[in-house]
Amino acid sequence: MDLNQPTQQNVEYMIEAIKTKLRMATGAAMQASSFTAEKYEDLKDIYDMVSSKDRFSISEVEALVSELGKLRA
């Protein structure tokens, strides 16, 4: 998948990958359809950071979820 293109399909892929990686208990509340390609670069930055780490502290997860909340449409 070419994540360099700001498409809705890529947005949905990244959101699902982030939810899986963070093992979000509230993942159902964060629907990929709530995000648009308008904030693609910010979302891609979060995706890249989440993809690069194996473990997250509780405070890191909370901060990431907060940032994702700000990017929702």
User: Which range is least confidently modeled, 12-16, 22-26, 42-46, 60-64?
Assistant: 22-26
One-letter amino acid for residue 33 of the chain: S
CA distance 45 to 66: 14
Higher pLDDT, 51 or 29: 51
CA distance 71 to 73: 6
* Per-residue pLDDT at 70 exceeds 80: yes
CA distance 40 to 23: 22
Can you tell me the mean pLDDT for 46-68?
91
Query: Could you tell me which of 46, 45, 15, 42 has the C-alpha nearest to residue 30?
Result: 15
Q: Is 55 exposed, middle or buried (0-12, 13-18, 19+ CB in 10 A)?
A: exposed
Task: State the pLDDT at residue 29.
Answer: 63
